[in-house]
Amino acid sequence: MPKARGDYCLLVTVELSAGSVVMWSGVLTIRVRLLRVRLLAALFILGACASGYAAVTLAWPGTALDVAWTVNPEGQAGLRSLGPVAIVGMAALSVTMVVTAVGLLALRRWAWWVAVVGLAGNATGDLATAIATGEPRTLIGVPVAGLIVWWLTRREVRSRFGLARRAK
């Protein structure tokens, strides 16, 4: 496939291992065309860092890293009350977000779906939290996620992921 204007290739080396045994190793070549897709992938990486950070601070409480929880002490208390489930959940969310970011950069159909469903779920959760707690600060995520989902569902974006409807 010839490179279009604005294309570039991103090489990602991936190695899956269990202990000292390498199960798979390879290089992924990713063609990226849209600046906005790269920005969305960066947002997913930022989310992965935040959820990974939460998992670490929940797994090892009482360290200097806990300073970040001063922004949302109620969130920390709520997650701590869940025990190991919160740690595993946050770690799984972090991994999912990294994998989705790589899929978005590779313009994979499944990554588009994960992004749309995940963002819609996030907006729904923010709305439910605002209703349940009466805390309007959580509503900031609703229009942000809504705008990103709106953008992702535009025809030209869907077509980049091989999802555009064909004319009859």
pTM for the model? 0.74
- The pLDDT assigned to 149 comes to 95
Span 128-157, mean pLDDT? Answer: 90
Mean pLDDT of the chain: 83
What separation in angstroms does the CA of 161 have from each of 2, 37, 103, 114?
A: 17, 10, 10, 12
Residues 3, 27: Cα–Cα separation, whole Å: 19
User: For the chain, what percent of residues have pLDDT higher than 90?
Assistant: 51
Burial class (CB in 10 A: 0-12, 13-18, 19+), 27: exposed
115 pLDDT exceeds 50?
yes
Position 138 confidence tier, pLDDT thresholds 50, 70, 90: confident
